[in-house]
Amino acid sequence: MSVLFVSIDLFSIGGIQRYSRYLLAALLRSPRIDRLAVASLAAPSDGGFDAPVRVDATGGRGALGRLGFAATCWRLAQARRAALLIVDHVNLAPIAWLYRRLTGTPYWLNVYAIEVWGDLSWLRRRALLGAACIVSDCDYTRRVLEEKYPPLAGRIIVVPDCVDVDRFVPDAGKAAAAMPVVLTVSRLAEGRSKGHDAVLRALADLRRAGVDARYVIAGDGADRGRLESLVHELGLGARVRFTGRVDDADLPALYAAADVFALVSAFDGASQGEGVPLVVLEAQACGTPAITGSRDGCAESISDGETGILVDPADGAAIAAALVRLICDAPLRARMGAAARAFAERQFSVRSFETKIDAVAARFAERAAAGVMRPAEVRR
């Protein structure tokens, strides 16, 4: 089967981008696909992933650049006689929808959390509904979409993110730190709270109660200045370290050095929330127990009470209680850390991910061989 893979971005460091790279690797290994062309709207840039990715085409900037990218994708699909288009973001789904209208070629669409929870434009909504199948990174998003768009029932397949458990590993020689280290890894984007405020306020309360810990905030972005001001306001000073952007090669060691990972992203059901966060999986693979949210896809990323603790991200007291429980109990951290590593290997390995992606590809390959492929026919 010949396939065109259309990506919004294969190069910038981020959770969706890494998922897309894992997806591309799985497609390249699938025995169902004998020819794979790759197009990325974003071009390679400084500060991206270390490992190179080969693409057949990249896009341009602005509206004209997107139109040119769409035309390039259609030409690629024609030239390679693509039997299937795979699109990794709803914003690019109209490219595949219009191509299907012109040629009848089916497409599968990957969706992620807040990108599809809220209202979609008419064209993106039509493109979502026109997909032969939809691959979601979490079950929460599947439920949201099936409730909003009943025709999608049975057409959404859940394939959670994965983690390279051979690269993200515990530090076997890790020594006990004088003061436990709490870590958050994320972009510091304005208007997209990853829970830094809640963790900072909880740590300030704990410090006043005599419980001390250091907090490492990894990542950069426009919200850094505000967070630095909050650290000063709370009197945490040297207890908090901002690392700035972390090179991809340095991430495993950063996770492994931490005692607790925290990602308590705000949730409102539309513009704030998470699918299955890759950073939580990476932390667990490195043997670090995680505290994360209970209201969205985060709840699917850990085994509550075994590999970490689920909390309501709006409940500051619950966040503080989870932190104090792990900060003050080193044996519990060790047990949860070992369980977290085993959980990541069992549930979120690259091999498991590739098996699930190949199963989706097999459904298309069977229908392509039969010469029949309509939107409602590829079901979970």
Residue type, 319: I
Whole-Å CA distances, 67 to 26, 90, 94, 95, 159? 28, 16, 11, 9, 30
Q: What's the CA gap between 274 and 70, in Å, rounded?
A: 29
CATH code for the structural domain at 181-347 = 3.40.50.2000
Mean pLDDT computed over 126-131: 97
Mean pLDDT computed over 9-28: 93
Mean pLDDT computed over 185-198: 93
Tell me which of 178 and 193 has the higher pLDDT. Answer: 193
Cβ atoms of residues 15 and 161 within 8 Å: yes
Q: What percent of the chain has pLDDT over 70?
A: 97
Name the strand (E) or helix (H) holding 115. helix 114-117
Cβ atoms of residues 55 and 38 within 8 Å: yes
Query: Which DSSP string do the residues of 14-79 spell out, in sequence order?
Result: SHHHHHHHHHHHHHHH-TT-SEEEEEESSPP-TTS-SS----SEE--SHHHHHHHHHHHHHHHHHH
The CATH number of 2-162+349-377, from 3.40.50.2000, 1.20.120.400, 3.30.450.20, 3.40.50.300, is 3.40.50.2000
Give the pTM. Answer: 0.91
Residue 369 confidence (pLDDT) above 70: no
Tens-place pLDDT, residues 273-330: 999 999 999 999 999 999 999 999 999 999 999 999 999 999 999 999 999 999 999 9
Residue owning tokens 């870590």:
183
Compute the mean pLDDT over every residue in the chain, rounded to the nearest whole number: 93
Mean pLDDT computed over 8-16: 91
Start and end residues for every CATH 3.40.50.2000 domain found in the chain: 2-162+349-377, 181-347
CA angle (252 as vertex; 250, 257 as ends), nearest 5? 100
Residue 14 confidence (pLDDT) above 90: no
Tens-place pLDDT, residues 36-87: 999 999 998 877 787 889 999 999 888 888 999 999 999 999 999 999 999 9
Beta bridge partners of 39: 6, 57
